[in-house]
Amino acid sequence: MQELLKLIIKWTAIVCIICTFLFEAFPLLFIKMFGADGKLYTQFAVLCLRIYLSLIIFTCVQKVCAIFLQSIGHAKAAAPLSILRDVLLIIFSLIVPIVSGVTGIFWAAPIADMIAVSITGVVMAKLWKSL
């Protein structure tokens, strides 16, 4: 069971690293999909894309852990973890822009990702011993 979890997390991380590289290396490719026009808009869009997706790997790992726990019968731990990042994102999307301005809404995602993956790590470490 532990080997399966390691394998799932490994491949999730690999896919996320590749996607993060693509977002960082070719942000305009993704932005132009939405009809980006103008230099100012494009610069803002690149900044926001980079901020928002900076810790996307944490989101993926956190979701995989929640799904894994659900699949092995730990629903009481999985259910809160599966919505944790989303709830934190809503909360921080309302709070962070008040302090940091318009780009604050994009910083809400990495903040939520860090907290969610930290809590998930604690829960996984606690349950790891019983697997």
pLDDT tens digits for 54-65? 888 898 889 899
For the cut 70, the answer to whether the pLDDT of residue 20 exceeds it is: yes
Q: Torsion over CA of 113, 11, 80 and 115, rounded to 10 degrees?
A: -20
Name the residue range of residue 31's domain: 2-128
User: Can you tell me whether residue 89 is helix, strand or coil?
Assistant: helix
Tell me the DSSP string of 2-56: HHHHHHHHHHHHHHHHHHHHHHHH-HHHHHHTTT--SHHHHHHHHHHHHHHTTTH
Query: Which one, of 111, 130, 10, 9, lies nearest residue 68 by Cα?
Result: 9
Please give the tally of structural domains in the chain.
1
pLDDT tens digits for 46-93? 888 888 888 888 988 898 999 999 888 888 989 999 899 999 999 999
CB atoms < 10 A from the CB of 61, how many? Answer: 22
